[in-house]
């Protein structure tokens, strides 16, 4: 498994895929990458130490993903990560975090002492599709509530059951309300969720310009970040 890469572009950053404890939510219908989770803290720390040793600080920015949320990294890995931030002079961190941890984000800011971009896997702003079909467990009253906690949201596109109208609305909301975002074209995996290849093709053509939008990471394959 590839666990380190460097993402070029406007928000150039190193990226590490760390091994964390079980995703506290763990119920998203399309997700099978929680198989990388482990309750063996020593194993997690050992794997993560070798990954973190590759961080050079070359861009001053580091994104950390862990098939879950930052809160599921072990204490040992968090300490190792903080040492890397100090030693490699990392000026900005990116973490993924499930909605259920939204009230605890300040703990992470305080721990690292550098600006942090928290990314939330909203997947779609269609409440019914997000929660009934994708089983994300993300319920909010209005978009301002989401924006209050998260600078960046991730969209998942090209799933059977999604419509063009739904995806148009998702992109519109992302661009109008959030400074940063990530768009992932769904790739079939071991779950029962099926891709809609035609819809994905339509989306990639219509929104090809977003590949060059500095606000957006546009991933047409789930290994486009160079990890996984």
Q: Which residues bind ligand SF4 (CB under 6 A)?
A: 23, 25-28, 31, 34, 67-68, 98, 121
Pick between residue 23 and residue 55 the one whose CB is nearest to ligand SF4: 23
Within the chain, strands assigned E span 4-7, 13-17, 61-65, 92-96, 116-123, 152-157, 180-185, 216-219
Residue 121 or 158 with smaller CB distance to ligand SF4? 121
Identify which of residues 6 and 34 has a Cβ nearer to ligand SF4 in the complex.
34
* Calpha distance 64→14 (Å, rounded): 9
Nearer to ligand SF4, 25 or 178 (CB): 25
Instruction: Return d(Cα 54, Cα 188) in angstroms, integer.
Output: 30
Q: In three state form, how does the secondary structure of 30-92 look?
A: CCCHHHHCCCCHHHHHHHHHHHHCCCCCCCCEEEEECCCCHHHCCHHHHHHHHHHHHHCCCCE
Q: Is residue 97 a contact partner of residue 109, using CB atoms and an 8 Å limit?
A: no
Q: Shortest approach of ligand SF4 to residue 113 CB, angstroms?
A: 26
- Shortest CB 98 distance to ligand SF4, Å: 4
Please say which residue, 34 or 49, places its beta carbon nearer to ligand SF4: 34
Q: How far is the CB of 19 from ligand SF4 (least distance, A)?
A: 13
Q: Which is nearer to ligand SF4, 34 or 143 (CB)?
A: 34
Smallest distance from ligand SF4 to CB 155, Å? 13
Least separation in angstroms between CB 33 and ligand SF4 = 6
Residue 208: both structure tokens together: 């090809």
CB of 39 vs ligand SF4, minimal distance in Å: 15
- The nearer residue to ligand SF4, 37 or 220, going by C-beta atoms, is 37
Strands 180-185 and 216-219, by their bridges, are parallel
Least distance to ligand SF4 from the beta carbon of 97, Å? 9
If residue 169 lies in a helix (H) or strand (E), which one and from where to where? Answer: helix 164-177
The answer to whether 177 and 211 are in contact (CB under 8 A) is no
**What is the β-pairing status of strands 61-65 and 13-17?**
parallel
């Amino acid at each position: 498994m590839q666990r380190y890469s460097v993402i070029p572009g406007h928000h150039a950053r190193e990226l590490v895929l760390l091994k964390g404890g079980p995703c506290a939510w763990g119920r998203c219908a399309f997700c099978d990458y929680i198989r990388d989770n482990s309750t063996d803290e020593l194993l997690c720390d050992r794997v993560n130490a070798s990954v973190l040793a590759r961080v050079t600080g070359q861009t001053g920015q580091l994104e950390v993903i862990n098939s879950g949320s930052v809160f599921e990294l072990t204490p040992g890995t968090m300490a190792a990560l903080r040492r890397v931030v100090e030693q490699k002079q990392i000026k900005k961190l990116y973490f993924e975090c499930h909605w259920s941890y939204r009230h605890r984000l300040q703990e992470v800011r305080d721990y690292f002492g550098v600006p942090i971009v928290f990314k939330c896997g909203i997947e779609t702003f269609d409440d019914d599709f997000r929660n009934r079909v994708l089983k994300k467990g993300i319920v909010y009253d209005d978009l301002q509530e989401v924006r209050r906690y998260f600078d960046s949201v991730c969209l998942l596109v090209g799933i059977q059951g999604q419509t063009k109208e739904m995806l148009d609305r998702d992109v519109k909301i992302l661009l109008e309300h959030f400074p940063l975002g990530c768009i992932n074209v769904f790739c079939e995996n071991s779950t029962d969720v099926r891709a809609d290849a035609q819809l994905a093709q339509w989306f990639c053509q219509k929104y090809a310009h977003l590949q060059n939008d500095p606000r957006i990471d546009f991933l047409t394959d789930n290994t486009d970040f160079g990890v996984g």
